[in-house]
Structure 1
Amino acid sequence: MNLNLRQAILSNVTGHNSEQLEATIDDAMQKGEEKMLPGLGVFFEMLWKESDDQEKQEILNTLEQSLKEPTA
C-alpha cells in the first residue's frame, strides 16, 4: 500500500474554516504527540509556500527568537 501522508493530511482538513484549523493546531500542540508533527509540518509547508519574502522573514525572525536560549 502506497500512502501519501501529505495528501492524507490535506484531505483531512480541506474545507475547514479558520476556527476548525485553529482547533486542530491547538489540539496537536496540547497533546504533544510525535504522530502530530507531520501534520504540523504540512501546515508549515503550506504557510511557507503562500508567504511572500517579508512574511518569510517574519517567520524566520519569530523562529530565531523562539530558539534562543533564555538568559539567566
Structure 2
Amino acid sequence: MELDLRQAIIQRVQGKDDQALTEIIEGSIDTEEMALPGLGVLFEIIWQNSTEAARKKMVTVLQRQLPRQA
C-alpha cells in the first residue's frame, strides 16, 4: 500500500497526546526545510477545523509577524 506524504504525516501524529504533538511541532520549527511540508499538513488540519474568528486571528498574527517591505 502506497501512502502519500499527507497520509504519512497524519499517521505519524495520530493518537499522540498533547505533549507529544507539541514536541513534534516545536521540533519541526527552525529546522531543516524537510519539516515544512509536515507543518503545512498540520496547519491545513487546524485551518479546516477552525472557526472563522480563529482563522481571522491566525491571519492577523501572520500579517503582524511578516517583515515589512522596505
TM-score (norm 2): 0.89
Q: 1:44 and 2:40 equivalent?
A: no
* CA displacement, residues 9-66 of structure 1 (integer Å, 9 cap, x when unaligned): 0001100011101000111114x20110010000100010000100000000000001
Structure with the largest fraction of helix: 1
* RMSD after superposition: 1.7
Percent sequence identity over aligned pairs: 37
Query: Where does residue 4 of structure 1 map in the other structure?
Result: 4
Q: Which blocks of at least 5 consecutive residues in structure 1 are unaligned?
A: none
CA distance in 2 between partners of 1:53 and 1:22 (Å)? 24
Moved over 4 A (4+): none
Amino acid in structure 2 at the alignment position of 1:63: L
Q: Which blocks of at least 5 consecutive residues in structure 2 are unaligned?
A: none
TM-score (norm 1): 0.87
Q: How many positions carry a matched residue from both structures?
A: 69
Amino acid in structure 1 at the alignment position of 2:27: D
